[in-house]
Amino acid sequence: MAIGAVSLAVAKTSAILGNNPLYLNIALLKHNQEQPSTLPMPLLMVTLLSCGKSSPGKLNLMKEVICIPHPELTTKQGVEMLMEIQKNIIKIIEMPPPPKAETKKGQDGGKRGQQQITGKMSHLGCLTINCDTIEQPLLLLQGICANLGLELGTNLHLAINCAGHELMDYSKGKYEVMMGTYKSAAEMVDLYVELITKYPSIIALIDPFRKEDSEQWDSIYNALGSRCYIIAGTASKSISKLLEHGNINIPKSNGLIIKHTNQTTMSDLVEITNLADSKKHIIFGSTEGESSDDSLVDLAVGLGVRFIKLGGLSRGERVTKYNRLLTIEEELVQSGTLDTSLSCNARIGGQEQETMTLVKV
């Protein structure tokens, strides 16, 4: 269980002895000890809302509503924009509830789905809010962005962590997307297609199904793979098993979340990113219940992953990592080694797929 920690300690020691930052030491491992002339910064995936199974509302489907800033923004600009959005979410939650409308003929004057939004900070570093419909959190963000002069689908995009494995009611064999509302695996495909059609600013779905529903992973990839990222997180096998089998295409997806765990060495991380390069987008994610060690940010930059997912912008263990990300960006700018060539386009799926631009035209 200590192999991951030991491997990281060796990498840190090597970086110190070589008088290099850790991210550069990891980049040397990645490139067979040849120092790359430039390094790209991973795109931010920042969790702003949680409306999952543990939230107080009826909605279960959205464990994380994630914002991805425009790829041409710097990391600092992206963080500042998302902090402003978070401040506005908090203002709305702290607003006193509006007075009840007068009723006529015994009818409730309140509108359906317009109940007061309340929330609390979760371990994910974001606000857990009560929502009763799929549209509520999306409309909340849409309204806040409009007030700030931002446009979803242009200035920033959304990703949804569906956490499909948490939605399954095994007694019914169906996904409980909302309290008392159950969908079969086949019906979930239709739900996701409708969601992406209605909200094209959503460009990524994380774990839309359990890993056991391989047929539905194929179906949703075929239906939406050219329109948004279908990403395997918890539904993916462990890094050691992926490397053992040499197959990263089960379940079928065009993105993969990897994490540095106790069982994962630096060599494993290099090998899995080499295996996925040009085949899948790699998202470097943080683990739950983690410490304030910011090393995983260095790992993400050194490995050249496409995205980094650190949770929300609150809680010390997460804020520390965002601060490290900003520091690395400053260092790369000052040294003239920041790679901006990947700021506009992202490769979807395998080499046979066309390049999808993250900027909505």
Active-site choice (262, 274, 323, 345): 262
Q: What mean pLDDT comes out for the span 123-134?
A: 91
Can you list the domains of the chain with their CATH numbers?
Answer: 44-94+116-287 (3.20.20.120)
Asked whether the predicted pLDDT for residue 251 surpasses 70, the reply is: yes
User: Cα(283)–Cα(157) distance, rounded to whole angstroms?
Assistant: 16
| pLDDT tens column, 5-37 | 999 999 999 999 999 999 999 999 999 999 899
| b/e sequence 302-340, b meaning 16+ C-beta within 10 Å | bbbbbbbbbbbbbbebbbbbbebbbebbebbeeeeebee
The Cα-based distances of 307 to 16, 51, 115, 336 in angstroms read: 26, 22, 35, 21
Q: Is the pTM of this model over 0.85?
A: yes
| pLDDT tens column, 284-307 | 998 766 678 899 999 999 999 999
Asked whether the predicted pLDDT for residue 68 surpasses 50, the reply is: yes
| pLDDT tens column, 49-62 | 999 988 888 999 99
Note if 262 is an active site residue: yes
